[in-house]
Structure 1
Amino acid sequence: MGVTQMASKHLVKGLKRSALTVALGLSFVGGVQAQTNTAGAVVGRAVAGDTITIENPATGFSRTVAVSGDGSFRVSQVPIGQYTITRKGADGTTSTRTANVSVGTAANVAFVSGTGDAQTLDTVTVVGTGAINPIDVSSVESTTILTAEQIAKIPVARDATSVALLAPGTVRGDAAFGNLASFGGASVAENQYYVNGFNITNTFQNLNFAQIPYEAIAEQQIKTGGYGAEFGRSLGGVVNMITKRGTNEFHAGGNIFWEPEALRSEQRNTYLTTGELRQDNSDDTQWEATASIWASGALIKDKLFAYGLISYGRLESDTWGSVVASTNTSNRTNKPNWLLKMDWNITDNHLLELTAFSDKQETDSNVYLNDLGQLNRNDFLGVNMTEQGGDNYVLKYTGYLTDSFTLSALAGRSTFSRSQRLRTAGGIDVSYGGDISVPATGCPIITDLRPGYRRALDGTRASPCNITGGAITREDAEDTREQYRIDAEWQLGDHLLRFGYDVDDFESVDGGSFEGGRVWSYRTDDPDGIENNGDETDFVREQIVNQGAVVKVEQRAYYIQDSWNITDNFIAYLGGRWDSFKNINGQGQAYVDITNQFGPRLGFSWDVYGDSTFKVFGNAGRYALPLTATVAVRGASASLFTREEFDYTGFDPETGAPTGLTSWGNFRYVNGEFGEAKNPLTIASKNLEPMYQDEYILGFQKALNDNFSLGIRAIYRDLKAAIDDNCDYTAILRTEGFTPRFDAEDHFLGWADGNDRFAALPNTGFPYCRMFNPGEDAVFLTDLYGDGVLKETTVPGEMLSPQAKRKYSALEFFFDGNWDKFFLQGSYTYARSRGNTEGGVKSDIGQSDTNVTQDFDYLELTVDSFGYLPNDRRHSLKLFGNYDITDEWSVGANLLVQSGRPQNCLGILDTDPGPDVAAHPYGSSFFRCDGIATPRGSYGRLAWSSNVDMNVAYRPAFAEGLQFKMDIFNVLNSRKVTSVNEQVEDGTSGTRLETAFLPLSFQAPRSVRFMVQYDF
């Protein structure tokens, strides 16, 4: 459903009836659903007793099956490519057809016309190249497929996210999370990514995935909804990529992509509410180049094939930063990537394939001091060195054990580095090894939160030696995935059964510490909240955070699904998936263990006229999402998190640290005692359910003529359960009858029961935050008195938070047009996304703590939190295509017009009913400003944005295989604001910040990309 792929440039043979019937009968539609994530199928009708042989001349792949008694045939698990299909009758007559097979679809090839017993052999006619791809009446999914040829013709960035954003129902996620897409209202942390059947999603935070060298991609399939039971662990979408492979014919080539700095426009500057310059981007620079070479061919003709690619990319940029920043950077990223794909046709019935690739990249950021308020470079501080990516190896077997039974098995292993280390100006390497008792060395981090510091640049406290200004990740941080799966397909009459089992184990080595071991935060105590009236007192807070652990996520799933041809024109789909998730902390203990979470899938597809020109379809399904691995590093493993306040008398000019310290005597552990692991039984509610949502889709698709089809689908998604953390431990104490106790001078002493026995508070080992399902009663185990005895407490849901809600509804209009020299595809989506949680992450404040956002930490945070969510883009119009002016020249275009995201106004919650401000400790995180409620999404919207990309390509006739291309991105240089600072009040005093609604991101400025390529 919704398959978008250019018609082949080769002639195809078709039925004699009409050009439209021919165009619709010979491509990606079949009598039963072809659910698979690596291959397609060939299905059709002929005369009972005939034999059907499909053959790919390029690879020698060949299979022969018999036509069943009802005149139908099916060849499953067919590698993508162009095939010749030959029918041989009992009387010795033969006839042939040609069809393309794409991933996850079925090529429908008919050798007879008519239905039932009134069937006659058809003759062959020839169809031109301008016909559209037919409607896939076999599928209930919402799927878009783009081939390498299409992608090369469209002005689009060559990465999986940019291509996925061409599909209906996708929007770009918040810039805080990198280059990621939101599917159908879900957060960017709820998608899954595959290559050749192997899961390449980085499960540590679900905010990254392996970056395949994009020149090696043959097809990209984007599933935006309705996907079958074979796919899971996603509430958003699925991106499924298939790599190129070798053939009998030797091919080689290379290309260079170059984006020069000279043709890149400047980004906009940002200003404070006072009109003063905040961020000067006028001197920022960036250029990028990537060179690739590839070769493919047969090592043994018709038997053993190889495709190899080597790619090297470099990105260089200078970032000068904020005028209140004390450092600026010069950055260089190197990407030495490679890919190898090998295919072995052991026999016609047994195939073996190997996929191996590396997506490693290293970034060195040279850090320099600058004078506050000036764009200059002074002393060199050092280098921030980070690594990302790793090596991936996947082996897959496919066996055609009988004409009706196919079996595949996959095993794969991948590594993904997240390493970081520093090198000082003196050449000394600094890193964090993960030992929580040994903080990182170097300069402490200095922040200045005193009122007015943004204007008084000369008096701002800042570090003159800190390289990163933040936390650093341990040097050996790395993720390792081991995945095994087995899938079977069995044709039983009118039923196509698919079933399988997969194991996906993910291990993460992680940890972090502040670069200098601590943060010194300069603050002002202002009792009456009125600036500069003489009662202010400066103080400083010390905060130390060290953490490190090896944590795991073990995932198991099995599924079964049936596509049943109730009639020749009507398919019913029924499936079920059972997921099990186990999260393991740094001590090897499971703190969340959910088994056999059931996800039913139902659907239908009605080929109204029986000729694949008009399809009505619908589906309903339940989809579950596991906890990410990152939850366990601090929340469920040993960690150190302390705070303490001091008076001070001076300021060290060498490090920025305070001098003359006098402690307030309030040293405290924020998240358990030093070095002690949390009891895994106390981390999560005993009745915890996975995050899951229900989805419903209803639509139709109609071919209007040979060259144009359109469709409409309505989508509704309802989040039924979320997982997040709650940090209000007092709900447990109140449920157990504890009350706060004070001394004669109203000093808080602690919480005590009726026998004056005091509870163990967070600074004595009490777990600070716990995983739960928002809105549901939570069953917590707690060592209430710190004596090792666990007490079970059922906390009513209303004491913790309201029900987690996220409802997405959309109406999508999509079309596919293809003529001899011109193709155009596009969509318009009207969508609404409402709720009180975005999901795994929180774009409101750019919080990437997947599954542990602050949404439900305290009940007060949920007040007025229901409304339009950050990924609510009410209107989205997408158009893209290409026109061949001549055989040598072509032009392409890509248009996006989109409405802006909703805005919030986040301020403090004053917990003191008197004249003094006593702000909640979560500061400027509440849906209220100036003491007035401002419900989520009610503070207006950002402006509409539009983006026009264009390209021109030249393929000189005198040099076959040579091509030049120029892409211009954002031709009109539109630079609308795409996100702003929604925290508008000071977190302590409640005064309006000068950074209120400060732009945080813009549209990417105009840039130009050149390409030269040669294939032979």
Structure 2
Amino acid sequence: MAMNSSFKRSALSVALGLCFVGGVQAQTNTAGNVVGKAAAGDTITITNPATGFSRTITVGSDGSYRFAQLPTGNYQVSRNGGAARDVNVNVGTSANVDFVSQSATGSFDAITVTGAVNPIDVSSVESTTVLTAQQVAKIPVPRNITSVALLAPGTVRGATNAGFGSLPSFGGSSVAENQYYVNGFNVTNTFKNLAFAQVPFEAIAESQVKTGGYGAEFGRSTGGVINMITKRGTNEFHAGGSYYWSPRKLAETSPNLYYNNGLWVSNNERDKGWEATAAVWANGAIVKDRLFFYVLGQYGKTHDTTLTSRFGSANLDSRSTRPQWLVKLDWRITDNHSLEFTGFSDKRKFEDDYYAATFPNQTATNTSDPTTDFGRYLGTDFNEAGGNSYVLKYTGYLTDNFTLSALAGRGEFSRTNYGVAAGGIRQAYEGNLTGPVSGCPIITDSRTGVSTGAIPAIRGCSFVSTLGRADAKDTRDQFRIDAEWQLGDHLLRGGIDTDKFRSIDGTAYSGGASWVYQSTGGGRVRFRNFRTGADVGVDQRAFYIEDSWSITDNFVAYLGLRWDTFENLNGEGEKYVQIENQFAPRLGFSWDVFGNAGRYALPLTAGVATRAASASLYEEYYYNYTGVDPVTGAPTGLTPRANPATGSTAVRYLNGEDGRPKYAAGYAAKNLEPMYQDEFILGFQKQLTDHFSLGVRGIYRDLKRAIDDNCDYATVLAYAGSQGFGTTPGAQFNYCFLFNPGQDTELAGDYDGDGDVEVLNIPGNILSPKAKRKYTALEFFAQGNWDKFFVQASYTYARAHGNTEGGVRSDNGQADTGTTSDFDYAAAMIGADGYGPNDRRHSLKLFGNYEFSDEWSAGANLLVQSGRPISCIGVYKGLDVSHYGNIHFSCDPGVPSANGDNGSTVVPRGTVGRTPWTSTLDLNVAYKPMWAKGLQFKLDVFNVLNSRKVTSVNEIGESAGGDPAPQVNTYLTPTSWQAPRAVRFMVQYDF
């Protein structure tokens, strides 16, 4: 069956460009395919000259053939033993090689899609960008996967002031809603979904970025999917090494920080650092045509200095090392059976030296340059993160039309933390809620007169406020089976996977205590002890089935069905959330236009249970004191005094956290349903010339349901009283619980303290409004490739609107995924409906490379974006029933108030203004001397024009007490700028 001419032209043109859209027939996350048309009964042979791989299949009665699950690389395809044609196979795409009848005599010609830059499957319903290592090497881009993902349309960088700048946001979703894979193995850190295991960048062969419309094989994401494929060995031996260096002396800095009254607060001119990374690698055949290897060792080091502001607490001298390695083995047992092994290490070590910030003349009238020298040494904070991952995968071509694969993997990620204070005092937390915590306590001096300098402040020897558990770590065990069956015009795929994730985590105050001096002499001091510590987990299972039906030669219909099961475990091993068989259908089609509709679900992270669903301790006492320890700053001569909140000297447990296990059955609503999002995409792309094509697509995402926590226990108890229950809860009552915002909540608990558990059906409008988040976008993209030049461009117009960002909250920096202050009580959501932190209205991306000669080439990368929305965050006077302070979309900026009670003015989210437009131009030049084959030098300059526009501002317009006066000088002052100009040198040698 022959293709019509318009479809053939489209296939050829699209293949010449950088890939924006992957194949509906190729959802696999580790390999690609070669498909085509020929006469029924023909024999088609595909070979990989580099590895000796060869397969021959017979064309079916419908005139089509398919080579499925092919490792990425360059292949040759021939018909009936005739001349071979070259084809390039990329991850997640189907390359077309069609043998089309040209005459009655049965002669055939071949239309071969070789993918000069990056082939794409024209029967696509996915929104996918694939970038190879060769392409990334030609453009100036930082060597991390987030920077590569940000090249794709519809992606923006997370808010830098919230610490999320190292992660991308897809389609208006929060940065905590993405999934990351390496050779098919899920490397997402499910503790908070804010980290992932990173393979050495040099070892990545291809990066596949799915921004939407992905098939039923992929789930557990309402953001995007980033899939990394590592390099592998061939019959030909290769080895090499590289060295990257970003020197301190060629780095620029961010602007100095000034408050609104002109006070010079921070001198950033010495906040510089350097970075160096060296790597060596080798690959080849252990047994020719059968067993191949690729090995890499990489070592990176950074050194940075950070001098705090005039009102800061410490200066930092920071060092980090990253010893990494990767091993990839490929065993082609036969042409029909293969095994591959991937092992890699992602360990990182950090050392932060803390020095006392010595800024004299700390007055609002002194605008002189603040002191920028390091002060007294306080101590060193040691952190280790990362671990090792091991993945084994089998692929079997069991028949010409049936392929089976199985994968098993294990990953570990440690989060070790301890400190050593000046004088050798060790600061560490071993995770026992009742045992001692070594180190110095936190000291805060709030006595009247300290802030003005009338009374010298009491200071301790603690340099970090909280400590993580010394044994904190995460582990993942994953197993999956996938099958593919070509049945005539139907390509059927299906699979099942299980994912077991466990986390050991905990937090404690340094030294096990936080002391707050509240009055002088033998006056009052407050003591608090806060600790969490638990072994928690998430068990996930999923199965899917999908059918890609080639109704005609150029019309494909796609149907995918997915079912997910999520089970969350607390520190006692009890299930506190269980959601079974969440249904996620996917529909799509591709003709002259392509489109899809899909539902995507997101599970709860493991970190939700560390404090909220497991035992935790948060105790408070008040004392009189007579003296102060000169080393630690802790009070001495203590005698108990009444707590002003209770009138008693007995311990007060805040939020009911008394160290006993939580009531697991009452932590989540009994009718809790999973978070899910619906997405719709409609697009079109067209060839303009043999070398250039363009396209457009519209995207609509709608968050239909969310999961978050609510801590408005006073409202819960009041409603229980109205229903005939008591209002004095017993032990089986949780002060916070998980629910679906805006929906009726069935909550179990002992509401009247009689020891019996009741189930209360709470109307949704009592607790909070419904979660809302909508994303609409129109994306235009173009790509072209010529002999010496390639270019890719995109422009995105987008809107992200709703009352929640998602799992995290960027405007106040909350990284507690799934348990931010959103929806904690109804008043917290007043004014929350508006444009969110990831709303970038306009984004223009343009990058490419031009080869002047065989020796010289130059690359460029341009990003122009509009700013983010700005809010004013403060306090709802009289409505802050839970005493959260300044987390609300209500404030009166610049209106001084003596008592902090000047009424509440709702300032809806994102309506204050926007940060300015930013533009960043990166350039590079590369030299490959002909006199030394394999040698290459490259110079990258990032932010060539050193544009230093503000990227985020202080959005806190009122103090925690509701008074705008303290924020007059800080509100809307910058908290981050564009990354300043930096230079990177590279030398590389391959042989």
Per the normalisation by structure 2, the TM-score is 0.92
Partner secondary structure for residue 670 of structure 1: strand
Do residues 84 (structure 1) and 76 (structure 2) align? yes
Judging changes above 3 Å, is the alpha-carbon distance between structure 1 residues 947 and 673 closer, same or farther for their aligned structure 2 residues? closer
Query: In 1, are the aligned partners of 2:98 and 2:111 still within 8 Å (CA)?
Result: no
Query: In 2, are the aligned partners of 1:562 and 1:573 still within 8 Å (CA)?
Result: yes
Do residues 966 (structure 1) and 939 (structure 2) align? yes
Say which of 870, 882, 890 aligns to 1:928: 890
Do residues 833 (structure 1) and 808 (structure 2) align? no
CA distance in 2, matches of 1:314, 1:32: 42
Give the equivalent residue in structure 1 for 2:707.
723
Do residues 707 (structure 1) and 691 (structure 2) align? yes
Give the equivalent residue in structure 2 for 1:467.
463
Say which of 362, 387, 396 aligns to 1:399: 396
Q: What is the Cα deviation at residue 970 of structure 1?
A: 0.7
CA distance in 1, matches of 2:947, 2:624: 50
Give the equivalent residue in structure 1 for 2:56.
64
Do residues 234 (structure 1) and 221 (structure 2) align? yes
CA distance in 1, matches of 2:939, 2:813: 35
Do residues 75 (structure 1) and 70 (structure 2) align? no
Say which of 325, 329, 339 aligns to 1:352: 339
Partner secondary structure for residue 715 of structure 2: helix
Q: What is the Cα deviation at residue 997 of structure 1?
A: 2.2
CA distance in 2, matches of 1:942, 1:674: 44
Q: Which structure 2 residue ranges, 5 or more long, are not aligned?
A: 361-370, 893-903
Query: In 2, are the aligned partners of 1:309 and 1:339 still within 8 Å (CA)?
Result: yes
Question: Which segment is superposed worse, 787-796 or 841-850?
Answer: 787-796
Partner secondary structure for residue 948 of structure 1: strand
Amino acid at match of 2:249: A
CA distance in 1, matches of 2:270, 2:120: 51
Question: Which segment is superposed worse, 1006-1015 or 265-274?
Answer: 265-274
Say which of 100, 103, 108 aligns to 1:122: 108
Do residues 981 (structure 1) and 976 (structure 2) align? no
CA distance in 2, matches of 1:198, 1:263: 39
Do residues 101 (structure 1) and 69 (structure 2) align? no
Partner secondary structure for residue 320 of structure 2: strand
Q: What is the Cα deviation at residue 325 of structure 1?
A: 2.4
Give the equivalent residue in structure 2 for 1:668.
652
Q: What is the Cα deviation at residue 38 of structure 1?
A: 0.2
Judging changes above 3 Å, is the alpha-carbon distance between structure 1 residues 522 and 17 closer, same or farther for their aligned structure 2 residues? closer
Partner secondary structure for residue 253 of structure 1: strand
Give the equivalent residue in structure 1 for 2:178.
191
Give the equivalent residue in structure 2 for 1:528.
none
Give the equivalent residue in structure 1 for 2:494.
499
Do residues 444 (structure 1) and 436 (structure 2) align? no
Partner secondary structure for residue 891 of structure 1: strand
Partner secondary structure for residue 555 of structure 1: strand
CA distance in 2, matches of 1:754, 1:870: 43
Q: What is the Cα deviation at residue 659 of structure 1?
A: 6.0
Do residues 174 (structure 1) and 159 (structure 2) align? yes
Judging changes above 3 Å, is the alpha-carbon distance between structure 1 residues 541 and 1000 closer, same or farther for their aligned structure 2 residues? farther
Give the equivalent residue in structure 2 for 1:8.
none
Q: What is the Cα deviation at residue 690 of structure 1?
A: 1.2
Do residues 547 (structure 1) and 532 (structure 2) align? yes
CA distance in 2, matches of 1:460, 1:152: 57
Partner secondary structure for residue 466 of structure 1: coil
Give the equivalent residue in structure 2 for 1:613.
none
CA distance in 2, matches of 1:869, 1:721: 17
CA distance in 1, matches of 2:415, 2:701: 34
Give the equivalent residue in structure 1 for 2:862.
895
CA distance in 2, matches of 1:417, 1:971: 37
Do residues 282 (structure 1) and 269 (structure 2) align? yes
Post-superposition Cα deviations, 1:57-111, rounded to whole Å, max 9, x if no partner, equal 00111111100112110110011001010110xxxx6232110000000110011
Query: In 1, are the aligned partners of 2:863 and 2:919 still within 8 Å (CA)?
Result: yes
Amino acid at match of 1:482: D
Question: Which segment is superposed worse, 391-400 or 984-993?
Answer: 984-993
Question: Which segment is superposed worse, 459-468 or 930-939?
Answer: 459-468
Say which of 768, 785, 791 aligns to 2:752: 785
Query: In 2, are the aligned partners of 1:23 and 1:134 still within 8 Å (CA)?
Result: no
Say which of 517, 530, 533 aligns to 2:512: 517
Judging changes above 3 Å, is the alpha-carbon distance between structure 1 residues 62 and 19 closer, same or farther for their aligned structure 2 residues? same
Q: Which structure 1 residue ranges, 5 or more long, are not aligned?
A: 1-14, 526-536, 609-615, 739-752, 913-917
Judging changes above 3 Å, is the alpha-carbon distance between structure 1 residues 1003 and 446 closer, same or farther for their aligned structure 2 residues? farther
Amino acid at match of 1:903: I
Judging changes above 3 Å, is the alpha-carbon distance between structure 1 residues 464 and 370 closer, same or farther for their aligned structure 2 residues? farther
Amino acid at match of 2:764: G
Give the equivalent residue in structure 2 for 1:818.
785
Question: Which segment is superposed worse, 132-141 or 779-788?
Answer: 132-141
Give the equivalent residue in structure 2 for 1:954.
927
Q: What is the Cα deviation at residue 118 of structure 1?
A: 7.7
Judging changes above 3 Å, is the alpha-carbon distance between structure 1 residues 412 and 458 closer, same or farther for their aligned structure 2 residues? farther
Give the equivalent residue in structure 1 for 2:209.
222
CA distance in 2, matches of 1:170, 1:459: 51
Judging changes above 3 Å, is the alpha-carbon distance between structure 1 residues 451 and 48 closer, same or farther for their aligned structure 2 residues? farther
Query: In 1, are the aligned partners of 2:328 and 2:340 still within 8 Å (CA)?
Result: yes
Supply the RMSD in Å over aligned alpha carbons: 2.6
Partner secondary structure for residue 655 of structure 2: coil
Query: In 1, are the aligned partners of 2:337 and 2:395 still within 8 Å (CA)?
Result: yes
Judging changes above 3 Å, is the alpha-carbon distance between structure 1 residues 784 and 496 closer, same or farther for their aligned structure 2 residues? same
Post-superposition Cα deviations, 1:569-628, rounded to whole Å, max 9, x if no partner, equal 10000011000000001101000000000000000001x3xxxxxxx1000000000000
Query: In 2, are the aligned partners of 1:38 and 1:79 still within 8 Å (CA)?
Result: yes
Q: What is the Cα deviation at residue 439 of structure 1?
A: 4.3
Judging changes above 3 Å, is the alpha-carbon distance between structure 1 residues 163 and 105 closer, same or farther for their aligned structure 2 residues? same
CA distance in 2, matches of 1:754, 1:484: 50
CA distance in 2, matches of 1:25, 1:161: 25
Do residues 865 (structure 1) and 832 (structure 2) align? yes
Give the equivalent residue in structure 1 for 2:975.
1000
CA distance in 2, matches of 1:462, 1:263: 41
Give the equivalent residue in structure 1 for 2:235.
248
Post-superposition Cα deviations, 1:682-718, rounded to whole Å, max 9, x if no partner, equal 1000011111100000010111111111110000000
Judging changes above 3 Å, is the alpha-carbon distance between structure 1 residues 84 and 940 closer, same or farther for their aligned structure 2 residues? same
Amino acid at match of 1:147: T
Judging changes above 3 Å, is the alpha-carbon distance between structure 1 residues 148 and 580 closer, same or farther for their aligned structure 2 residues? same
Partner secondary structure for residue 588 of structure 1: coil
CA distance in 2, matches of 1:977, 1:354: 46
Query: In 1, are the aligned partners of 2:192 and 2:607 still within 8 Å (CA)?
Result: yes
Give the equivalent residue in structure 2 for 1:1010.
985
Give the equivalent residue in structure 1 for 2:365.
none
Question: Which segment is superposed worse, 320-329 or 881-890?
Answer: 320-329
User: In the TM superposition, what are the counterparts of 1:425-440 in structure 2 within 5 Å?
Assistant: 425-440=422-437
CA distance in 2, matches of 1:905, 1:250: 60
Question: Which segment is superposed worse, 901-910 or 246-255?
Answer: 901-910
Give the equivalent residue in structure 1 for 2:900.
none
Query: In 1, are the aligned partners of 2:87 and 2:115 still within 8 Å (CA)?
Result: no
Judging changes above 3 Å, is the alpha-carbon distance between structure 1 residues 314 and 686 closer, same or farther for their aligned structure 2 residues? same
Judging changes above 3 Å, is the alpha-carbon distance between structure 1 residues 18 and 671 closer, same or farther for their aligned structure 2 residues? closer
User: In the TM superposition, what are the counterparts of 1:691-702 in structure 2 within 5 Å?
Assistant: 691-702=675-686
Post-superposition Cα deviations, 1:990-1015, rounded to whole Å, max 9, x if no partner, equal 23323222322211111100000000
Q: What is the Cα deviation at residue 285 of structure 1?
A: 2.3
Q: What is the Cα deviation at residue 366 of structure 1?
A: 1.6
Say which of 473, 480, 489 aligns to 1:485: 480
Amino acid at match of 1:148: A
Give the equivalent residue in structure 2 for 1:906.
873
Post-superposition Cα deviations, 1:823-851, rounded to whole Å, max 9, x if no partner, equal 11011000000000000000010100000
Q: What is the Cα deviation at residue 138 of structure 1?
A: 2.2
Q: What is the Cα deviation at residue 646 of structure 1?
A: 5.8
CA distance in 1, matches of 2:664, 2:617: 17
CA distance in 2, matches of 1:509, 1:906: 34
Query: In 2, are the aligned partners of 1:25 and 1:108 still within 8 Å (CA)?
Result: no
CA distance in 2, matches of 1:305, 1:33: 29
CA distance in 1, matches of 2:806, 2:523: 39
Give the equivalent residue in structure 2 for 1:635.
612
Give the equivalent residue in structure 1 for 2:764.
797
Do residues 386 (structure 1) and 383 (structure 2) align? yes
Judging changes above 3 Å, is the alpha-carbon distance between structure 1 residues 450 and 427 closer, same or farther for their aligned structure 2 residues? closer
